[in-house]
């Protein structure tokens, strides 16, 4: 992914308007079937615990398998052995960058089951919740197995000296929110929207630097776009308590003739449609000084009023929001106090920083970093619990699953650092990790091609199966057979066995699984030719496709029968599933 000014050379090649339409003729589309050793015989949903009290949810670190106490290096710095070898060291700092020497007395911060993340219907964060497994909300009435354009909404672009960005890019997922009535009233939405219990608002921060707010049903503006001036590449988060707050990070610090704008993580008051608080990316405590973007979609722990946001400057920020929402007075406020985690892994040089969004299991949080590690830290104390090497830059967000009460992660890396070192292609690695220890349960490897502007490998976040495909996890892998072709693979979650593999036009867009009213599960995936695929996740075969304009790099979100996604055509699309 883009990590410094030297690599802002995506140009129009990332939009790939003409080149990819020609590439479509040469890109193979071949499905290779495999086996499903653990195909479910029942599709009943597992029971979950509704517990949300952090004090009851928090796991004592001393009771984790193989736990060893960290070694004190003095001056508030600690270290421990990393999973698979090497060491990791870290320190915790306050907002003034003063080292905090004792964190044991902190009140617990812990997340419940993913079903308890939000009290508001919709998709309120990248991939929906703290497990990052719910980019679709509700069920869809799918009979014809077709996709059709319901509406489009124009956006803009960003042209700089070295790059061109348009529409919505990686990860670029919209947020879909069925607000509480009191919140709609406070935000001053129309009388019809306030009265309609089925009204859903699309909140979409995209690369032209604007936050668009639209009616999901029609695509019409609900509020004028908020123009921040500088582009968003990652995805935002809506406060899961129904507070009218949007949390979203700046991904570009250039816009036309304006250069070197200060990086900023923004907290936006959706009543005023105004940036009211945030984090500065240029941070004296950061291990990385040349890049201060925020591509991660944060998690908000509602029970403790806490936001956690990894950054590309190499820090993990924990914000006690001190937030307040008075619906009757039509006011919302935040006054964040900041704590920071700074860590260093064995072999780390100049690529430090986190672009993936964090997943969370209770008080344990997980993200992939540019140095090629999965990092697990404690949300309460910010100490690093374990790190596990992936072998290369890891930007795709980890996805969490719980099997028989035990948490696991699915992660995949890229062919990036090895390409920068001179390699032209090589294996990327998909892994299942024990979330408590970082131990590898299985791995799957496939070759990917290096491209300095558009990385090969796992840029898309995987989708965890449910229902009739609850035995499978789905990865979209870019630039496998060649520079224009990618591979979508369905793997058995317990063994890593290939259930099916499909070679097709490459993509960075994350796959989405939708629960049909008919009991079946449907897959949706966008590719770099601008084709949106409605497919059977049991076999990989398309039911139907829909040609959109230009590259679908952004990841879709779905509410009921409506899907929203942006493309490089400077358009946002509302797509109906029927």
76-99 per-position pLDDT tens digit: 999 998 877 789 999 999 999 999
Structure tokens at 249: 């990070």
Strand ranges in 95-146 using DSSP code E only, listed in sequence order? 122-123, 136-137, 139-140
Contact by Cβ (8 Å): 332, 324: yes
Give 534's contacts (C-beta < 8 A, 6+ positions apart).
145, 146, 147, 522, 523, 524, 542, 543, 544, 545, 546, 577
Nearest by Cα to 316 from 286, 336, 337: 286
Q: How far apart are CA 322 and CA 333, in angstroms?
A: 8
pLDDT at position 460: 98
State whether residue 55 is helix, strand or coil: helix
Contact by Cβ (8 Å): 278, 262: no
Could you count the other beta carbons within 10 Å of the beta carbon of residue 78?
A: 18
Rg of the chain in Å (alpha carbons): 22
Tokens 């998690």 locate to: 299
Intra-chain end-to-end CA distance of the chain, in Å = 35
The count of residues in the chain is 578
Indicate if the pLDDT at residue 26 is higher than 70. Answer: no
Segment (H or E) for 572:
strand 571-577
Segment (H or E) for 213:
strand 210-215
pLDDT, tens digit, for every residue of 326-352?
A: 999 999 999 999 999 999 988 756 578
Reported confidence tier of residue 318, pLDDT bands at 50, 70, 90: very high
Indicate if the pLDDT at residue 133 is higher than 80. Answer: yes
pLDDT, tens digit, for every residue of 510-543?
A: 999 999 999 999 999 999 999 999 999 999 999 9
Indicate if the pLDDT at residue 197 is higher than 80. Answer: yes
Indicate if the pLDDT at residue 170 is higher than 60. Answer: yes
Average pLDDT of the residues in 493-522: 98
Give 23's contacts (C-beta < 8 A, 6+ positions apart).
16, 484, 505, 528, 529
State whether residue 359 is helix, strand or coil: strand
Reported confidence tier of residue 161, pLDDT bands at 50, 70, 90: low
pTM for the whole thing?
0.95
Nearest by Cα to 235 from 168, 171, 155: 171
Contact by Cβ (8 Å): 266, 250: yes
């Amino acid at each position: 992914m883009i990590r410094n000014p030297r690599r802002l050379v995506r140009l129009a090649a990332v939009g790939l308007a003409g080149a990819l339409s020609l590439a479509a003729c040469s890109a193979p589309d071949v499905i290779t079937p495999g086996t499903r050793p653990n195909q479910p015989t029942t599709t009943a949903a597992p029971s979950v615990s509704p517990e949300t009290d952090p004090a009851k949810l928090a796991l004592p670190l001393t009771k984790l398998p193989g736990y060893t106490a960290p070694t004190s290096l003095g001056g508030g710095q600690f270290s421990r052995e990393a999973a698979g070898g090497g060491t990791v060291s870290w320190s915790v700092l306050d907002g003034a960058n003063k080292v905090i020497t004792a964190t044991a007395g902190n009140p617990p911060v812990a997340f419940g089951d993913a079903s308890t993340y939000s009290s508001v219907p919709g998709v309120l964060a990248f991939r929906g919740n703290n497990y990052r497994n719910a980019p679709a909300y509700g069920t869809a009435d799918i009979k014809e197995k077709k996709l059709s354009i319901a509406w489009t909404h124009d956006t803009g672009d960003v042209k700089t000296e070295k790059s061109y960005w348009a529409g919505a890019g990686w990860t670029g997922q919209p947020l879909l929110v069925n607000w509480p009535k009191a919140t709609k009233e406070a935000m001053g939405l129309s009388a019809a929207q306030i009265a309609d219990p089925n009204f859903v608002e699309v909140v979409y921060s995209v690369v032209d630097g604007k936050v668009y707010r639209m009616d999901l049903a029609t695509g019409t503006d609900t509020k004028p776009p908020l123009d921040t001036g500088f582009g968003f590449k990652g995805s935002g988060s809506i406060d899961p308590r129904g507070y009218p707050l949007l949390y979203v990070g700046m991904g570009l610090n250039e816009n036309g003739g304006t250069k070197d704008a200060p990086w900023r993580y923004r907290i936006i008051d959706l009543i005023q449609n105004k940036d009211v608080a945030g984090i500065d990316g240029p941070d004296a405590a950061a291990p990385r000084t040349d890049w201060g973007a925020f591509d991660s979609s944060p998690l908000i722990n509602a029970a403790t009023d806490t936001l956690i946001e990894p950054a590309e400057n190499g820090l993990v920020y924990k914000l006690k929001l001190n937030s307040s929402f008075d619906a009757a007075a039509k006011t919302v406020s935040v006054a964040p106090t900041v704590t920071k985690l700074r860590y260093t892994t064995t072999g780390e040089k100049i690529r430090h920083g986190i672009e993936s969004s964090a997943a969370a299991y209770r008080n344990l949080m997980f993200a992939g970093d540019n140095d090629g590690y999965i990092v697990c830290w404690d949300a309460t104390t910010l100490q690093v619990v374990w790190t596990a090497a992936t072998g290369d830059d890891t930007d795709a967000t980890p996805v969490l699953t719980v099997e028989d009460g035990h948490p696991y992660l699915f992660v995949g890396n890229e062919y990036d650092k090895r390409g920068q070192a001179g390699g032209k292609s090589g294996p990327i690695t998909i892994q299942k990790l024990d979330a408590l220890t970082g131990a590898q349960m299985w791995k799957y490897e496939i070759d990917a091609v290096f491209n300095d502007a558009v990385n090969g490998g796992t840029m898309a976040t995987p989708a965890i199966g449910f229902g009739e495909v609850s035995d499978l996890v789905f990865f979209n892998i870019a630039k496998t057979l060649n520079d224009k072709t990618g591979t979508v693979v369905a793997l058995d979650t317990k063994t890593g066995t290939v259930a099916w593999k499909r070679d097709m036009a490459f993509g960075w867009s994350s796959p989405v699984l939708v629960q049909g009213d008919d009991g079946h599960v449907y897959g949706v995936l966008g590719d770099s030719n601008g084709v949106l695929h409605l497919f059977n996740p049991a076999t990989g075969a398309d039911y139907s496709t829909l040609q959109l304009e230009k590259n679908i790099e952004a990841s879709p979100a779905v509410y009921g029968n409506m899907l929203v996604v942006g493309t490089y055509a400077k358009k946002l699309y509302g797509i109906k599933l029927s």
